[in-house]
Chain A
Amino acid sequence: MKKRLWLSLSLFVIGAMVLAACGGAAATPTTAPTTAPVTSAPGATIAPTQPPAPTTAPTAAPTAAPSKPAVVVITFPQEPDNLNPLYTNMWFSTITHAFWLRGLWSIDDQGNAVPEIAAEIPTEANGGVADGGKTITIKLNPNAQWSDGTPITADDFVFTYQMVISPKNAVASAYPYKEQVESVEAKDEHTLVVKFKEPFAPWLTSLFASTVATGGVAVLPKHILEPVFEKDGTLDKADWNKKPTVGVGPFVFKEWESGGHILFVRNDKWFGPAPKVDQIFIRIVPDDASQIAAIKAGDTDIGTFLSFADAPDVESTGVAQITTDMAGFQEGWFLNMDPKTAHPALQDVRVRKAIALATDRFKITQDLLYGKTEPPATFWDSTQPYGDPSLKAYPYDPEQAKQLLDEAGWKDTNGDGIRDKDGKELKLRYITTDRQLRKDVQAVVQQMWAKVGIGADLVNFSSDVFFNTFGQNGPLYTGQSDIAEYSDSPSFPDPDVAYWLCSEIPSAENPEGTNGQHYCSKDLDALFAQQLTTADREARKAIFAKIQKIMYDDVVYIGLWRDPDVWSVNKRLTGVRFSGASPFWNVTDWTVSQ
């Protein structure tokens, strides 16, 4: 009786293991042992002697034949929600496009467009940009083909456009196709013509491009997805969303195990430069400390979404190095200037300026961010070339801050250490998410402000509640704060942003509005409208210089620090050059040393 129980239990466990092992299909038998990941660690020749694992023994042998496939392992702390660009706004999904779904062009680490499916980048000189920027004509590479050998034609792009704007598809973002684009037409098989209602300056970064910009819809394979749309009436549930086995890029999708990994293998039909590595294996590792352990153990080649605090620890092991790229993000303060909900003192620009002067942002970046970054002057400092270098971040000057507050009439009349005026204490509600670093900043700032007589109520929300809309009673948009801290960017790599437009002020009639600051300036609105239709880069830079000057003088936004993407790269992997707009754009240059 007992024996049988034991036997059946052990059988069950073995059975479960086999089941789990079969779950991932026949993905990796071809992935036989290769370049031991241990070669970069001191204990290189030690084979793991845990439970008998014959397949792992040759792995550790330094004599692995060079013909074995080379796998690059990347860890992601968040799992992509959907691989179809229509259905995701997630950065972790769009950055994979460089492997398997290239658009018309990518943006390199210098900010220049590099043709992918397009034969050349449209310019006024080559006739690609006409009508003052209203019409863009794109010549496609005649050799371009999908990973199943089907040629890529202008019809694929027309189909992609139709799918984005179809009400039958609940797409994540229809920008800019729904509001700004007038038509997308195929002039001939290899010529695509896009017409905008007004000249649309951000076309290069958001139009069928492989960038991380909102929308980020590169292209969809018409020959695969059109039959699905005709059959189901929508693409919402297409198999391709989860298993995009046909794509266009140096690699092609192989398998995705929910919560586990996503595997891309070499695409033999890729018409661009051939990659030097054979497979890209993305592993989902949600815990930050575990990712650091994996980096230090050499179990991952590229670590993503690291924080500055991790850098010294990772670099000390000598296994990997830390690199950064600017992707437009900056941690900063969004000041609420709504006369109805905000603290009355924030209506006065002198008080807003005093807040900037009373905060030693240079000490914060030095102490809490290990001196790896610094405070920006404007919202566009990390979105070059649009940041205005002539503006400098407000210095730390508590004396001047006190003077400004005195001038504005805020004085400590009741001796409680906090300034007041007409019976109202100068105590500001300072909200942010519950991330530890932000809580630390809050605590430090509270002390700095106390020195000049500004009080602070510190409040934290979980990030899903923090960004709730006005309609969902979100704290940012319903005026539950005076100062809100979070990291944000313009429509990087494009500088366009809507956060300070009068039309975006949230209200019962406009419950999804994004201008939680309630800042409304006719001059600024006009400049924002003007830059959006100014296709010429230099002219646009000049408009952004004016925008930044207004926002700087009026202290609308106070940047805390430039917030670049922080990566780790194992030393066995070389040739990696991250670009903020398409991080893995040069994957074909990557090499793995044995």
Chain B
Amino acid sequence: MVNYIIRRLVQAVPQLLIISVILFVLMQAFGDPLATLGARTPPRREDKERLRRQLGLDQPVYIQYLVWLVGNDWMKIDLDGDGVRETPGQRKGVLRGDWGTSLVTRTPVVDVIGERLPNTLLLMLTSEIIIIIVSLFVGMYSAIQQYSFFDNLVTSVSFVGYSMPIFLVALLFMYLFGVDFKRWGLPYLPTVGMFDPQAGRTPQQIALHMVLPLASLSVISIAAYSRYVRSSMLEVMSQDYIRTARAKGLREFLVVMRHALRNASLPFVTLIGLDLPFLLAGAVVTERIFAWPGMGRLFVDHTARSDYPVLMGILMLTAVAVIVFQILTDVTYSFLDPRIRIE
């Protein structure tokens, strides 16, 4: 098992290198980081010429990639534009842990991402936990009580939920519970942000402000996930070993929890394993609508300014997470199903 994990990790190194080359080249298809500089009028010609040189954006792509990868502290660069390379470079490169500096904020990429990651994890992990628990419960119940009123109700609601775009759900919730409830004099929820500036950044405030984003994130995923649980449970419940378990007089609860659920959970685990790494990337639409300062918005904001160091950072982080969670998923399989052995 340990050998297996080590082998997979070693394989990941060339994989990540290839991914980084591809991403870096694709990054060039984005717009020009100096096109607007976020201003309302395009920058002056003199300023663009100078900045392109100072930020190293005048170099060919392969040089820019090399600088990104191994840094430029071993060479000199031209800052004042006289054609003479006079100033030693300061970048260390990704291989030595320097992810570069954001072209937008001019702060280290690690800080830019580090500031957003906790907020995103708080929102995404909480919603993932809610999604897993609720969809397991709903899916199992519908499978056991197949074609009951509850099952039919859940099935219809799922289809409605699954076909709703998230921005619609989110705005609907916000206008209903944030704006209209307040106007009607009912208990209401806050619209945007993580806390009310007058109440301060307290856990209660954050919990209160999380209700609507969590609800929007969960509703749609629960609809989809509970369908997966339902169908794989239905399949397992008709197997011979379930009949055997019942025949030995086991209580129905134990039959379902120990024999059925464990076998039915394999597809669900795959699904979650594929999902988890993308939790790091955040929820673009939900974060935007509820003004939640997370990774999804970071990615969108910095894409708009073609801030390739930050984009590379986020994408590489996601790539690493995908590889790690793939390994974890494979390991989990062998725990859940003894027939699967990892060598």
**Residues of A in contact with B (beta carbons under 8 Å apart):** 9, 12-14, 16-21, 23-24, 27-29, 31-38, 41-43, 46-56, 59, 71, 73, 75, 78-79, 81-82, 87-92, 167-168, 170, 172-175, 178-179, 214, 236-237, 241-242, 257-261, 263, 279, 281, 283-287, 289-291, 293-294, 296-299, 317, 329, 462-469, 472, 474, 487-489, 498, 504, 510, 512-514
Contacts and interface: CB of A to CB of B under 8 A. Distances in A.
Interface in B169-219: 171, 174-175, 178-179, 182-208, 211
B32 interface: yes
B267 interface: no
Contacts of B304: 463-464
A241 B187 CA distance: 41
Interface string B37-49: 1111111111111
A42 B46 contact: no
Contact of B305 (A37, A297, A464): A464
Contact of A56 (B39, B46, B81, B204): B204
A289 B38 contact: no
A258 B115 contact: yes
Q: Is the interface of A mostly helix, strand, loop or mixed?
A: loop
Given A48-B187, A53-B205, A285-B193, 17 more contacts: A37-B198, A43-B184, A71-B197, A78-B301, A81-B38, A82-B104, A91-B39, A167-B81, A174-B46, A214-B41, A257-B293, A283-B192, A290-B290, A290-B291, A293-B171, A299-B193, A299-B196
A293 to B, nearest CB: 5
Contacts of A18: 203
Q: 3 nearest interchain CB pairs?
A: A259-B293, A464-B31, A28-B200
Contacts of A178: 46
A170 B103 CA distance: 10
Contacts of B38: 78, 81, 88-90, 92
Contacts of B301: 78-79, 259, 286
B40 A17 contact: no
Interface string B293-314: 1100110110011100000000
Contacts of B50: 174
Contact of B35 (A92, A168, A474): A474
A162 B182 CA distance: 54
B59 interface: no
B112 interface: yes
B197 A279 contact: yes
A465 B28 CA distance: 12
A87 B190 CA distance: 34
Interface of B: 30-32, 34-52, 54-55, 79-81, 87, 101, 104-108, 112, 115-116, 118-119, 121-122, 125-126, 129, 171, 174-175, 178-179, 182-208, 211, 288-291, 293-294, 297-298, 300-301, 304-306
Contact of B118 (A14, A20, A489): A20
28 contacts: A13-B129, A16-B118, A27-B201, A43-B182, A53-B204, A53-B205, A53-B207, A55-B199, A59-B198, A78-B301, A81-B105, A88-B38, A167-B54, A168-B87, A170-B106, A214-B39, A258-B112, A285-B193, A287-B288, A293-B178, A297-B178, A462-B31, A463-B304, A464-B30, A467-B32, A474-B35, A488-B40, A498-B44
Nearest to B211: A50
A284 B293 CA distance: 8
Given A13-B126, A258-B116, A469-B34, A290 B201 contact: no
A20 B122 contact: yes
Contacts of A79: 301
Given A257-B293, A464-B30, A50 B208 contact: yes
Nearest to B125: A16
B76 to A, nearest CB: 13
A6 to B, nearest CB: 9
A468 B200 CA distance: 42
Nearest to A169: B54
A19 B204 contact: no
A285 B87 CA distance: 41
Among B126, B129, B197, B288, the one with the most A-chain Cβ atoms within 10 Å of its Cβ is B197
B36 A469 contact: no
A261 B47 CA distance: 30
A296 B179 contact: yes
Contacts of B182: 38, 41, 43, 46, 297-298
A510 B155 CA distance: 63
Among A13, A260, A261, A513, the one with the most B-chain Cβ atoms within 10 Å of its Cβ is A260
B196 A467 contact: no
A539 to B, nearest CB: 25
Contact of B51 (A37, A82, A90, A172): A172
Contact of B191 (A13, A281, A293): A293
A78 B38 CA distance: 9
B261 to A, nearest CB: 12
A489 B203 CA distance: 45
Nearest to A232: B90
Contacts of B184: 43
A468 B203 CA distance: 44
A299 B104 CA distance: 29
